């Protein structure tokens, strides 16, 4: 067989194909081609490990990874040799049976275990070998249960035997958890059909009580939906919650942790409206008393939430508060344990959530010191401002009683928020707000479905592979195009070529294929001096789609709208109408209900149904009240933007 790659620590490393987008793929491609060139069909390898390596080499060639200097004739020859390789591999694995399985698959390295099972399945070895012989051989070569459960054919072939293996150790409950609730694992894990819901319940309960339980997996059980099919009931969820609380407390008794958080300061002398300082993981916001004292009218108070506290961005007036995937770090994206029905949050979201909550609380108390009620400001918006400014009549908002407990205020605010959301929906649908119709409308509010006064208000990326590839290549820090050398590197390709003068020849050979593709799509152009974006407006839209998962069509320039229309014709984007973007609607669902996520605080349901816990007293209810205020103010910002854009569109049409 061909020579093995040797790392600096002299450990042999074979060629492994991880996919076309993996950073390890380009630098292994040359090695794969060398193996193809030395392959002799007259003397094919006879060891399983060598044949599995050929299987990986085959995938490099089929994906088109060749040296840049390779001629078409050389490529054709390589493809022909791969065709022969495929036949050699198939014959080898088709010959495996009970008599030789132990010898044939011995000493296969961990990196090749999944490929081993794939090729055994393709060669129908599971049909020829009984469970005892095959599972014994796999155990001897080190294939663990998790790798087996990732292969559908072996699970189908040895159903009851794998069920017995699962039940033999409570720690195997982690496979059940991955299958049912762990984001990214559901489609890659197969459970035996003979595993009953009762079996699953037994495993999960044993795992919750186990000393070896993983805190993250306990959390997934706690937030899982009650289901007789998965073995989850209310008692098990409560058991998991108490176990998680115990494990968390024990962890912090042994670990000091690190300081993080935010603080808000009211400056008597500061001229600037706001100053932000970051020290380690602590953010400090200093606000000017002079500025706040001069902006005590109702409109300015609401504007301060949008611009001073930055609840929405300036370009598209999209809320900054949701958890956007683009804000997740590499470890948060790939190495955290996240439930399939979880709202995926990271450090960026937690930081912004804490700071915006503190800002709202700070401003609430500041305004109260000036005898200004924030709820009264919200009532002014609905009952006076939109009527005078946009002709939207009959809206109402009733503030909480000034002497009410925060428990009562929180309940009242959630009810009033639903009321104004329904009022807005009826106004959009009917062109007016009929109070009698409102009185008999009892459907629950679905924030993602709240309508807009504008058709096609938001631009979204479609699910097509082409636009997904464009966004990944341009903006992901994992695209493989962020680093050329020590002088030319950035967090993304977009940042690299906008902040540096990068010529086409600067890119490495394996990177040029992606650059060529973007040039062919009209995203980039090669001027001969540098590679640059063909359209600044197109770049802006694509960046918004990546960062906030949407763009506001009516916030774009005429040229920007032309670019969006062109991208729509290519199938890259689609326009939909709603008050909130899909990501903003998910943010509301996370805090308020269980329509979409299982790991949220479910505040609306708990407070309106009277099931909230009282052990933390009034302080806990005040926090909920501030969250409700923040959600309501964000809704006001979005409604005001909708009214304003609709009015501008009408004026432009007139």
210-233 mean pLDDT: 92
pLDDT at 527 over 60: yes
Helix axis angle for 234-254 and 215-223, nearest 10°, is 150
Distance CA 343, CA 598 (A): 8
pLDDT at site 443: 80
Is the residue at 566 inside a domain?
Answer: yes
Q: Which of 315, 392, 306, 400 is nearest to 356 (CA)?
A: 306
pLDDT at site 614: 59
Q: Which of 444, 386, 401, 381 is nearest to 608 (CA)?
A: 444
421 and 366 fall within a common domain: yes
pLDDT at site 210: 94
540 and 610 fall within a common domain: no
301 and 353 fall within a common domain: yes
332 and 368 fall within a common domain: yes
Is the residue at 260 inside a domain?
Answer: no
SS (H, E, C) 138-203: HHHCCCCHHHHHCCHHHHHHCHHHHHHHHHCCHHHHHHHHHHHCECCCHHHCCCCCCCCHHHHHHH
pLDDT at 253 over 90: no
304 and 447 fall within a common domain: yes
Q: Which of 514, 549, 576 is the last residue of a domain?
A: 576
Distance CA 541, CA 103 (A): 58
pLDDT at 654 over 60: no
Collect all residues with Cβ–Cβ distance below 8 Å to 595 and sequence separation of at least 6. Answer: 446, 589
440 and 463 fall within a common domain: no
Tokens coding 651: 């004026």
286-294 mean pLDDT: 95
Report the share of the chain in percent with pLDDT over 70: 94
pLDDT at site 2: 38
Range ranked top by mean pLDDT from 10-24, 140-154, 183-197, 475-489: 140-154
- Per DSSP, 447 falls in state G
Collect all residues with Cβ–Cβ distance below 8 Å to 175 and sequence separation of at least 6. Answer: 145, 146, 149, 166, 189, 191
Confidence of residue 108 (pLDDT cuts 50, 70, 90): very high
| Domain of residue 571, residue span | 458-576
394-412 per-residue burial string, b: 16 or more CB within 10 A, e: under 16: ebebebbeeeeebbebbbb
Confidence of residue 413 (pLDDT cuts 50, 70, 90): very high
Give the tens place of pLDDT for each residue, 132-185.
999 999 999 999 999 999 999 999 999 999 999 999 999 999 999 999 998 777
Q: Which of 143, 161, 184 is the last residue of a domain?
A: 143
Give, in order, the Cα–Cα distances in Å from 641 to each of 452, 457, 481, 534: 10, 11, 38, 31
pLDDT at site 69: 77
Answer yes or no: are the C-beta atoms of 480 and 26 closer than 8 Å: yes
280/133: higher pLDDT: 133
Distance CA 415, CA 603 (A): 12
pLDDT at site 71: 87
Collect all residues with Cβ–Cβ distance below 8 Å to 411 and sequence separation of at least 6. Answer: 607, 608
pLDDT at site 24: 62
Q: Which of 273, 257, 267, 284 is nearest to 351 (CA)?
A: 284
Q: Which of 441, 398, 439, 392 is nearest to 417 (CA)?
A: 398
* CB atoms near residue 290 (< 10 Å): 15
Distance CA 393, CA 103 (A): 83
Distance CA 148, CA 259 (A): 42
pLDDT at 349 over 90: yes
315 and 350 fall within a common domain: yes
Distance CA 285, CA 618 (A): 26
pLDDT at site 161: 97
Confidence of residue 341 (pLDDT cuts 50, 70, 90): confident
Is the residue at 29 inside a domain?
Answer: yes
210-221 mean pLDDT: 93
Rounded to 5°, the CA angle 313-593-413 comes to: 70
pLDDT at 260 over 80: no
Q: Which of 275, 294, 289, 307 is nearest to 366 (CA)?
A: 289
Query: What is the distance between the terminal CA atoms of the chain, rounded to a whole angstrom?
Result: 77
Is the residue at 235 inside a domain?
Answer: yes
Is the residue at 281 inside a domain?
Answer: no
Confidence of residue 186 (pLDDT cuts 50, 70, 90): low
Q: How many domains does the chain have?
A: 4
- pTM of the complete model beyond 0.85: no
362 and 311 fall within a common domain: yes
Is the residue at 165 inside a domain?
Answer: no
Instruction: Name the average pLDDT for the chain.
Output: 91
Tokens coding 197: 């819901």
Rounded to 5°, the CA angle 273-276-280 comes to: 170
Helix axis angle for 215-223 and 197-209, nearest 10°, is 130
- Per DSSP, 345 falls in state -
Q: Which of 253, 276, 310 is the last residue of a domain?
A: 253
470 and 445 fall within a common domain: no
Give the tens place of pLDDT for each residue, 86-98.
999 999 999 999 9
Confidence of residue 457 (pLDDT cuts 50, 70, 90): very high
446 and 463 fall within a common domain: no
Is the residue at 149 inside a domain?
Answer: no
Answer yes or no: are the C-beta atoms of 496 and 479 closer than 8 Å: no
pLDDT at site 279: 77
Q: In the sheet where 261-267 sits, what is the strand order?
A: 261-267, 282-288, 274-279
Is the residue at 607 inside a domain?
Answer: yes
Residue 579, classed as helix, strand or coil, is: coil
453-468 mean pLDDT: 95
Rounded to 5°, the CA angle 537-542-546 comes to: 145
pLDDT at 252 over 90: no
pLDDT at 610 over 80: no
Paired sense of beta strands 12-13 and 551-552, if any: unpaired
Q: Which of 211, 207, 214 is nearest to 231 (CA)?
A: 207
Distance CA 172, CA 18 (A): 27
Distance CA 228, CA 552 (A): 43
Q: Which of 283, 321, 203 is nearest to 584 (CA)?
A: 321
pLDDT at 196 over 70: yes
74 and 126 fall within a common domain: yes
Answer yes or no: are the C-beta atoms of 521 and 542 closer than 8 Å: no
Confidence of residue 613 (pLDDT cuts 50, 70, 90): low
448 and 550 fall within a common domain: no
pLDDT at site 530: 96
């Amino acid at each position: 067989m061909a020579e093995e790659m040797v790392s600096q620590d002299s450990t042999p490393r074979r060629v492994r194909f991880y996919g076309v987008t993996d950073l390890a793929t380009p630098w292994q491609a040359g090695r794969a081609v060398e193996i193809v060139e030395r392959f002799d069909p007259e003397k094919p390898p006879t060891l399983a490990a060598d044949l599995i390596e050929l299987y990986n080499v085959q995938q490099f060639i089929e994906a088109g990874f060749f040296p840049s200097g390779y001629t078409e004739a050389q490529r054709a020859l390589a493809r022909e040799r791969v065709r022969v390789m495929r036949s050699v591999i198939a014959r080898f694995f088709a010959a495996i049976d009970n008599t030789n399985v132990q010898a044939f698959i011995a000493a296969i390295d961990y990196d090749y275990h999944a490929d081993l099972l794939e090729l055994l399945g393709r060669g129908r070895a599971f049909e020829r070998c009984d469970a005892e012989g095959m599972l014994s051989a796999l155990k001897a070569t080190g294939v663990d249960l998790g790798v087996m459960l990732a292969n559908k054919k072996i699970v189908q072939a040895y159903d009851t035997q794998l069920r017995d293996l699962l039940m033999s150790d409570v720690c195997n409950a982690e496979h059940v958890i991955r299958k049912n609730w762990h984001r990214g694992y559901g489609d890659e894990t197969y459970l035996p059909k003979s595993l009953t819901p009762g079996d699953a319940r037994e495993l999960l309960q044993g795992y919750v009580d186990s000393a070896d339980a993983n805190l993250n997996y306990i959390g997934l059980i706690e937030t899982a939906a009650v289901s007789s099919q998965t073995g989850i009931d209310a008692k098990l969820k409560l058991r998991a919650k108490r176990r998680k609380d115990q494990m968390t407390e024990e962890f912090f008794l042994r670990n000091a942790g690190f300081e993080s958080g935010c603080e808000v300061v009211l400056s008597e002398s500061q001229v600037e409206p706001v100053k932000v300082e970051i020290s380690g993981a602590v953010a400090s916001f200093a606000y000017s008393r002079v500025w706040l004292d001069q902006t005590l009218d109702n409109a300015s108070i609401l504007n301060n939430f949008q611009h001073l506290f930055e609840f929405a961005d300036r370009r598209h007036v999209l809320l900054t508060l949701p958890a956007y995937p683009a804000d997740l770090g590499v470890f948060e994206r790939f190495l955290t344990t996240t439930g399939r029905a979880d709202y995926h949050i990271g450090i960026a979201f937690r930081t912004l959530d804490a700071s915006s909550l503190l800002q709202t609380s700070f401003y609430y108390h500041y305004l109260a010191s000036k005898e200004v009620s924030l709820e009264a400001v919200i009532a002014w918006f609905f009952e006076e401002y939109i009527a005078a400014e946009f002709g939207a009549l009959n809206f109402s908002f009733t503030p909480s009683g000034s002497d009410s407990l925060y428990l009562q205020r929180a309940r009242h605010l959630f009810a009033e928020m639903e009321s104004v959301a329904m009022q807005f929906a009826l106004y959009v649908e009917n062109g007016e707000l009929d109070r009698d119709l409102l009185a008999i409308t009892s459907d629950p509010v679905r924030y993602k479905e709240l309508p807009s006064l504008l058709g096609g208000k938001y631009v979204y990326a479609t699910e097509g592979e082409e636009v997904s590839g464009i966004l990944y290549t341009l903006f992901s820090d994992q695209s493989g195009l962020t680093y050329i050398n020590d002088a030319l590197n950035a967090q993304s390709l977009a940042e690299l070529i906008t902040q540096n003068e990068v010529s086409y020849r600067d890119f490495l050979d394996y990177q040029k294929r992606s650059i060529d593709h973007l040039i062919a799509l009209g995203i980039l152009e090669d001027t001969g001096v540098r590679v640059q974006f063909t359209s600044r407006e197109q770049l802006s839209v694509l960046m918004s789609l990546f960062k906030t998962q949407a763009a506001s069509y009516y916030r774009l320039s005429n040229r920007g709208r032309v670019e969006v229309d062109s991208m729509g014709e290519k199938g890259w984007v689609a326009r939909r109408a709603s008050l909130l973007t899909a990501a903003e609607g998910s943010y509301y669902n996370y805090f308020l209900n269980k329509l979409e996520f299982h790991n949220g605080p479910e505040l609306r349901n708990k407070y309106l149904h009277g099931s909230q816990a009282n052990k933390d007293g009034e302080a806990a209810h005040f926090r909920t009240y501030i969250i409700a205020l923040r959600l309501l103010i964000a809704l006001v910002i979005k409604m005001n933007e909708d009214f304003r854009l609709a009015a501008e569109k009408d004026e432009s049409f007139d």
